[in-house]
Amino acid sequence: MILDYHRPRLLFNAHLETIFPAMLRRVNNVSYQRERIQTTDDDFLDLDWLRQDSKKLVIISHGLEGNSSRAYMKGMAFACSLNKFDVLTWNFRGCSEEMNRQLRFYHSGATEDLDRIVQHAIQKKYTEINLVGFSLGGNITLKYLGERKTSPLVRKAVVFSVPVDLHASCLRISKPSNLVYARRFLKSLKEKVIQKSLLMPGLDTRNIEKIHTLVQFDDRYTAPLHGFHHALDYYKKCSSIHFLDSIRIPTLLISAKNDPFLSEECYPIKQLQNHVFMKFESPKYGGHVGFAQFNRNGLYWSEERALSFLT
């Protein structure tokens, strides 16, 4: 059953739909259990669990400069837990309130870390694993599903507000109407680079204040730190739009038509029209990782829609 989204009257434009859930939503009934696991390159990933001895698991991936404590993560975790799933929310490298050990951070195509999480979950003897991703975490999820043969235990995936074309999305977010978002992301990213440079003096932060766009940041830091030639090489190799055709499990991609972060290229309507496994839905409203609704159970539309698909 497809659930229609109707935005609250209070949130009467895309920016309010985006900002209200990010800044003002509170999800207080989630108490994680933290687990730290090691990576093959002598780094670590911090995992936050909600367990109830279920045989079914949902793994949730956050967005750019997010973490497991963001309201959209805790809201989805709570909704899945209510529906008898165990839940694993994970923090990308450098996003769990402690700087990671290696020079690298995380990026939009870091599927090796998601695979490490999935393989760790498989060892827990679950009979079913499902994936949920938001924004950048949604891009990682789609790329992961398209580039490798996943375990048969990975059954379904739902992703929201995904910049499937990274370059086009970066250009969109740099437009004057979106500068408040771009500046917020850049401020956080720059602070993280400066913080890491104190631990690793080889990381050059000279003239970092002259970086004014996400493309410039990716060209200076994201690309070279993660083995790409430059920003455009990074975008080309990591944009999930190039991996959608290879996805072979039931997958739902949802992006609001009024998402201020997404360019026209991020709505792959024709590409997915006859896809056997993927379904694309684009509600008129929702903003970016928004889909707020005010009701007694406290769940957002995105959480209800995800559960409708997963169950």
- Mean pLDDT value across residues 57-85: 97
| 267 found inside a domain | yes
- Mean pLDDT value across residues 1-8: 78
pLDDT at 66 over 90: yes
The rounded distance, in Å, linking the Cα atoms of 208 and 53 is 48
Nearest to 72, CA basis, from 294, 292, 307: 292
Residue 3 has what pLDDT?
Answer: 66
| 2 found inside a domain | no
Residue 1 has what pLDDT?
Answer: 43
Longest Cα separation, the chain: 55
Distance from chain centroid for Cα 90 = 10
The rounded distance, in Å, linking the Cα atoms of 253 and 151 is 21
DSSP label of 102: S
> Crossing angle, helix 179-199 and helix 166-173, to 10 degrees?
110
Residue 4 has what pLDDT?
Answer: 87
Measured between alpha carbons, how far apart are the two ends of the chain, in Å? Answer: 11
| 1 found inside a domain | no
Least confident range of 2-16, 257-271, 279-293: 2-16
What CATH number is associated with residue 67?
3.40.50.1820
| Residue recorded with tokens 């739009």 | 241
At 164, which amino acid appears?
Answer: V
| 161 found inside a domain | yes
Helix and strand numbers, DSSP H then E, in the chain = 11, 8
> Crossing angle, helix 136-147 and helix 111-122, to 10 degrees?
70
What is the pairing mode between strands 154-160 and 278-281?
Answer: unpaired
| 274 found inside a domain | yes
pTM, two decimals, is: 0.96
At 270, which amino acid appears?
Answer: K
Q: How confident is the model at residue 55 (pLDDT cuts 50, 70, 90)?
A: very high
Q: Are 222 and 107 in contact (CB under 8 A)?
A: yes
| 21 found inside a domain | yes
pLDDT at 151 over 90: no
Cα dihedral 162, 165, 170, 173 sign: negative
| 86 found inside a domain | yes
Range of the domain at 293: 14-310
Instruction: Give me the number of domains the chain comprises.
Output: 1
The rounded distance, in Å, linking the Cα atoms of 178 and 261 is 8
Q: Percent of the chain having pLDDT more than 70?
A: 98
| 7 found inside a domain | no
Distance from chain centroid for Cα 236 = 18
Residue 2 has what pLDDT?
Answer: 52
Task: Put the strands of the sheet holding 154-160 in their side by side order.
Answer: 33-38, 44-50, 86-91, 56-61, 128-134, 154-160, 251-254, 278-281
